[in-house]
Amino acid sequence: MDFIISILIIPQKSLLKINMVKKIEHIGIAVSSIEKSLPVYEALLGVKSYKVEVVESEFVKTAFIQIGESKIELLEATNPESTIAKFLDKRGQGFHHIAFDVDNIKVEIDRLKEIGFELIHLSPKSGADNKIIAFLHPKSTEGLLIELCQDK
Ligand code: ZN
């Protein structure tokens, strides 16, 4: 009997190891002005932002709000060449991307590339909120901009 139980448990453990996306880390929302939008989100959620951070390399200013295990990231362009500025011109304010927390971003990038996903970043780069990140192109994800992130 003990023998049968151990056979059933081992495959489940190895399945968990293969599944490297741990959870939704945050939802990214493009806004014209963090100064204007942040108080709206803080009032809506009843929580203050724990961090406002500029990511110079991406020409974005970000603000993070934690709600339980979930986070909201507001993104404002700091330069007209920013991808956020282009997104706002085309689509206006609102949902921008979903970010998944992964155990090992390099392994996950290679795995996704190998099965045919198009990645915007083929190697991880420094992102906001102490993460290393990589984006997948919406062309290969049914139109959704997806960010992978891992704690630094
Ligand atoms: Zn993000």
* pLDDT (average), residues 114-141: 94
CA of 20 to the centre of ligand 1 (A): 18
Average pLDDT over residues 117-127: 94
Ion ligand 1: residues, CB within 5 A, are 28, 73, 99, 147
- Expressed in angstroms and rounded, the spacing between residue 26 Cα and the centre of ligand 1 is 6
Residue 17 has pLDDT above 60, yes or no: no
- What average pLDDT does this structure show over 134-152? 95
Q: How far is the CA of 28 from the centre of ligand 1 (A)?
A: 5
Q: Which residues pair with 64 in a beta bridge?
A: 51, 73
Please say if the pLDDT value at position 16 is more than 70.
no
Residue 22 binned pLDDT confidence (cut-offs 50, 70, 90): confident
**What mean pLDDT do residues 71-99 have?**
96
> pTM of the full predicted structure?
0.85
d(CA 144, CA 137): 8
**Mean pLDDT value across residues 85-107:** 96
Nearest 5°: phi and psi at 66? -100, 130
For ligand 1, the distance from its centroid to the CA atom of residue 58, given in whole angstroms, is 11
The pLDDT-based confidence of 2 (bands split at 50, 70, 90) is: low
Tens of pLDDT, residue by residue over 128-137, are 999 999 999 9
Residue 57, pLDDT score? 86
Averaged pLDDT for residues 37-60: 95
71 CA distance to ligand 1 middle (Å):
10
- The pLDDT value recorded for residue 1 is 47
Residue holding tokens 């997104």?
87
* C-alpha 122 to ligand 1 mean position (Å): 17
pLDDT at 19: 62
Nearest to 87 by CA among 28, 45, 127: 28
pLDDT beyond 60 at 23: yes
What is the reported pLDDT for 3?
52
Tell me how far apart the alpha carbons of residues 83 and 79 are, in angstroms, rounded to a whole number. 9
Q: How far is the CA of 76 from the centre of ligand 1 (A)?
A: 12
